[in-house]
Amino acid sequence: MWLLDKMLTKLIRAGKLVITDYDGKVYEYGPGGDVNGEYGEPIKVRLTNKKASSHIARYPQVGAGEAYMWGWLTVEEPHDIRDMVLYVTSQAKVHGDKALQPQGPLKRIAQKTAAKIDSVNLKSKARKNAEHTYNLTRRLYELFLDEDRQYTMGYHRTPDVSLEKAQLDKKAHIAAKMYMQQASEMDRPLRVLDIGCGWGGLAMYLHKHYGAEVLGVALAEDQIAFCKERAKAAGVSDKVRFALMDYRDVEGTFDRISSVGLLEHVGTPHYPEFMRKTHQLLAPKGVMFSHCCGRAGPPGFTDAWTRKYIFPGGYIPALSELVTESEKAGWQVMDVEAMRFHYSYTLEEWYKRTTMHEKELVELYDEEFFRMWQFYLAGAEQSFRHGTLVNWQLIYVKDREAIPMTGDFIYEESERLRGLEEAPQWHLDPALKQAAE
């Protein structure tokens, strides 16, 4: 316990953390009181295995997650693991983002090297990684995502907006940035390529509001099967098509290209290839839109816990990495928006819905999986709330005449779209959902 004790003594400067070790010995950290109006009561943690403290101290981000997954670490009510994660990382913010990173130059070099190797995503590995993340049971995603299964940041125009509304507004914001309204000026439907199409929500949205002909591609078999079922049920299979395909194998020319939540899975070694291929696929006066998680600072590396359990091969890029490679491929960047804090609100709601369905998730998987998913969502939330992660939204063109001269077109169209439909309220009244089904 001495190593963990040393780390926490240095780290905790506000509030109070109480740890009871496996042998019953109690350790207290912090002066007490609340932290920014929260955590007025001490957060009490119990370690149930004699290996827990050393496992956590050796590499806090991996060790704490695994200790919680394995039942070696429990958090006493009224708090839970999310409270503990947000509390501890709020303390780390005072000391800088490296407070919970592996200590010592050799450990940091080893972690960085391992992350670089893991980011090499050849076609066979890319498909395997996608299946690891997205081929989990459909019921899992139904329980914590919105009805449209948007597995990326919602656009929270106010902190208290519902998840369903935030995701609907996100699609409106994206469509506006893609300058989809140009469809009204053309004598044919816009041809759209949606790379990493998820469960098809954006593709369906673009066809619904603009009559676009969309090809969605992704590497998770069940995602594509679900997308095809959606399109068939809506009677638009001939206009909104989906294929189990690597974007590198797509052929043709498209007026618009979208990639939402994709670049995190591409891997930095493959950014040049991504930029060249999409540049090849886009029409001369076309528009490409990209939305991805990002770093507000310089390039870094993905922590080992996330690579191991949630997103193998994943990496969250710095803006410099995205822009540098796009310029080399001939792209012109017309707009960059840093979406600050939005994802923290989305992740908070995902965590609440996951926890609400604990019993069913444990039955679907087991206790360890449920706790892993909780820790993943809480850890991700803290990165966007207390850390330096944001979401980058970029507009790329080949020709500067492809979009209007001012950015008014984005906000005018986004507002128009928001007025066209209301978000479902099933999250507020389960009876409504049951009646609809």
- The predicted-structure confidence for 163-219, as pLDDT tens digits, reads as follows 999 999 999 999 999 999 999 899 999 999 999 999 999 999 999 999 999 999 999
Predicted confidence band of residue 432 (pLDDT cuts 50, 70, 90): very low
Q: Could you give the residue range(s) of every CATH 3.40.50.150 domain in the chain?
A: 123-436
- Exposure b/e, 351-383, CB count within 10 A at least 16 = b: bebbbebeeebeeeeeeebbbbbbbbbbbbbbb
Fold for the domain defined by 123-436 = Rossmann fold (3.40.50)
End-to-end CA distance of the chain: 53
3-state helix/strand/coil string of 53-116: HHHHHHCHHHHHHHHHHCCCEEECCCCCHHHHHHHHHHHHHHHCHHHHCCCCHHHHHHHHHHHH
- At 424 the pLDDT is 76
- The C-alpha atoms of residue 229 and residue 10 are separated, in whole angstroms, by 54
- At 130 the pLDDT is 45
- At 425 the pLDDT is 66
Residue ranges of E strands in 349-430? 389-397
- At 128 the pLDDT is 54
Q: What is the average pLDDT across 113-124? A: 53
- At 150 the pLDDT is 97
Residue with the larger pLDDT of the pair 64 and 60? 64
Q: Does residue 79 have a pLDDT over 70?
A: yes
- At 310 the pLDDT is 86
Q: Does residue 284 have a pLDDT over 90?
A: yes
**What is the pTM assigned to this prediction?**
0.89
Q: What is the average pLDDT across 328-356? A: 97
Q: Does residue 54 have a pLDDT over 70?
A: yes
- At 28 the pLDDT is 96
